[in-house]
Amino acid sequence: MREYTRIYTDGDWTDPVDGTVLDLVDPADGSRTGSVTLAGRADVDRAVAAAHRAFDGFARTTPAERTDLLTRILTEFDRRAADLAVAVTTEMGAPAHLARDAHVPTGRLQITTAVEVLAGTPFTERRGDGEIRREPLGVAALITPWNFPVLQMVGKTVSALAAGCTVVLKPAETAAHSAMVFAEIMDAAGLPPGVFNLVPGRGEVVGEALVSHPDVGVVSFTGSHATATRVAVAAAPTTKRVHTELGGKSPQLLLPDADFSVAVETLRQFMLAMTGQICSAPSRTLVPRERLDEFLGTLVQAVESLRVGHPGDPATQMGPLASQAQWEIVQRYVRSGLAAGASLVTGGLGRPEGLPHGNFVRPTVFADVDNSMEIAREEIFGPVMSVIAYDTVDEAVDIANDTPYGLAAYVVGSDPHQVDDVVARLRAGAVLVNDAPFDWTAPWGGYKQSGNGREFGVEGVLAYLETKVVHRPRS
């Protein structure tokens, strides 16, 4: 049980002015795991003021000095890695092995990558008769989600720090366990006061105050499209830079010569292991009509053999959803699919057998899905898969692109020329071919309503830099 009663601002742990207390709940059984005292608008003002004061000095640090800072963060991150893994499992129900072997390592990778970017990025260069300088944008407001807390908090923070920005981080209030451990890591690393600040709180209070604050120079937001719209409106009067990474309804396009075992492995990794709570989940699978029954047989066997259980059990392959509210949302979408006439192949309403409590759901597959159905168009954030049959590859590409989103896409096929042709035609920010290893240092972001800008890697650092051109008289 951990009671988080303080926030972290200006290099110190302080009592928030607002004082609203939010109970934290274990998604596996509904038990109380602790609480977090939420920040309010006055706390945002205090945190931004601290970051603003610290910015001028921090912006003048050299890449070598910022590398030293990131190295200290890495040392403390490694020391607290086990605590971070426990936090992720406790707050969102991720299986313990997934928290330990995926969530935490992807966060660590963001730190080592930021160090590499600092070593290879020219912050000043000559171009023609001008001098091009890349300078930090200012105070960075970072708003992160609950579903990949370590990756998002660490990735955004170290990219901003590498660029020379100071940071005010607003994590999802339900991800308070991992956020507080992260703040403890930053404190132990010995950052100058005001360079990093943590203000947990509700989006409509803390988030709105942050993005509208005149002393914030750049916003990085990951979350829903509806919230991103409000972020953009709140940020508009000060014309600050806003980067967003939003939802997805990602297609998995199986070409006529696809190896279905590869396709099922992709679904296992990027859909089922995360209980569908991942914005790039391949939730729409497009299958050649003549091979539909073959694919469904392979998929159903894999889904029905999946071990759903308590996240602390080493044998568990899929844990619970993060909250009761999300459980209710998934139930609503299953009912929507049934009402629309989609064929329920496996899964369905309610909890799996033997799991009467907690936010556990049945991994669900619908066939005979039309792309106009709600389950094929809206992001469910649960293990609900829509299988759509197609007759020609051209039709499949059209269906894949027929979505307001464009975050990710997946292609499975044996003919490299056909694969390359399809990849070129897909409107998505990332395309995974034949279950290739995923590069967590590559630029991440989407097309259309999946957001704008990119984070992680080189592009993630560049997102926090402004360009200045210096013209000097010729000697």
Burial class of 262 by CB neighbour count within 10 A (0 to 12, 13 to 18, 19+): middle
Mean pLDDT of 441-462: 94
Where on the phi/psi map is residue 123: left (φ > 0), alpha (ψ -120 to 50), or beta?
A: alpha
**Nearest Cα to Cα of residue 296 among 327, 342, 248, 360:** 342
pLDDT band for 147, please (50, 70, 90 cuts): very high
pLDDT band for 129, please (50, 70, 90 cuts): confident
Q: How much is the pLDDT for 128?
A: 87
Residues 399, 295, single domain; the answer is yes
**Nearest Cα to Cα of residue 101 among 85, 114, 88, 87:** 85
pLDDT band for 474, please (50, 70, 90 cuts): confident
Residues 172, 284, single domain; the answer is no
* d(C-alpha 433, C-alpha 413), whole Å: 8
Q: At what angle do helices 393-401 and 416-425 cross, to 10 degrees?
A: 30
pLDDT band for 148, please (50, 70, 90 cuts): very high
Within 10 A of 123 (CB to CB), how many other CB atoms are there?
A: 15
Mean pLDDT of 100-111: 97
The CATH number given to whatever domain includes residue 139 is 3.40.605.10
Alpha helix (H) residue ranges in 240-392: 260-267, 292-304, 324-340, 374-377
Residues 224, 170, single domain; the answer is yes
pLDDT band for 24, please (50, 70, 90 cuts): very high
Mean pLDDT of 56-70: 97
**Nearest Cα to Cα of residue 121 among 162, 65, 69, 160:** 162
Give tens-digit pLDDT for 320-330: 999 999 999 99
Phi and psi at 152, nearest 5°, equal -70, -45
CA of 439: how far to CAs of 16, 77, 177, in Å? 39, 21, 27
Residues 211, 107, single domain; the answer is yes
130, 470 contact by CB (below 8 A): yes
Mean pLDDT of 275-293: 97
* d(C-alpha 206, C-alpha 227), whole Å: 13
- Kindly tell me if the per-residue pLDDT of 473 is higher than 90: no
Give tens-digit pLDDT for 154-213: 999 999 999 999 999 999 999 999 999 999 999 999 999 999 999 999 999 999 999 999
Residues 75, 14, single domain; the answer is yes
Most distant pair of Cα atoms in the chain: their distance: 81
CB within 8 A of 41, min separation 6: which ones? Answer: 18, 205, 206, 209
**pLDDT > 90 fraction of the chain, expressed in percent and rounded:** 95
- Kindly tell me if the per-residue pLDDT of 1 is higher than 80: no
Mean pLDDT of 217-246: 93
Residues 188, 314, single domain; the answer is no
Both tokens of residue 174? 């339900």
Both tokens of residue 296? 């469904």
121, 54 contact by CB (below 8 A): no
Burial class of 358 by CB neighbour count within 10 A (0 to 12, 13 to 18, 19+): buried
Residues 222, 270, single domain; the answer is no
Q: Mind telling me the catalytic residues?
A: 245, 279
Residues 337, 412, single domain; the answer is yes
Domain span at 305: 251-440
Write down the residue that tokens 């096929």 correspond to: 413
Residues 306, 373, single domain; the answer is yes
Give the predicted TM-score (pTM) of the model: 0.96
Residues 101, 214, single domain; the answer is yes
As a whole number of Å, the CA-based R_g of the chain is 23
**Nearest Cα to Cα of residue 153 among 167, 135, 171:** 171
* d(C-alpha 378, C-alpha 367), whole Å: 16
- Kindly tell me if the per-residue pLDDT of 216 is higher than 90: yes
Mean pLDDT of 214-225: 95
- Kindly tell me if the per-residue pLDDT of 475 is higher than 90: no
Residues 317, 289, single domain; the answer is yes
Residues 107, 256, single domain; the answer is no
Mean pLDDT of 13-38: 93
The CATH number given to whatever domain includes residue 333 is 3.40.309.10
**Residues in the chain, total:** 475
344, 384 contact by CB (below 8 A): no
- Domains of the chain: total: 2
Calculate the average pLDDT of the chain.
96
Mean pLDDT of 250-254: 98
pLDDT band for 5, please (50, 70, 90 cuts): very high
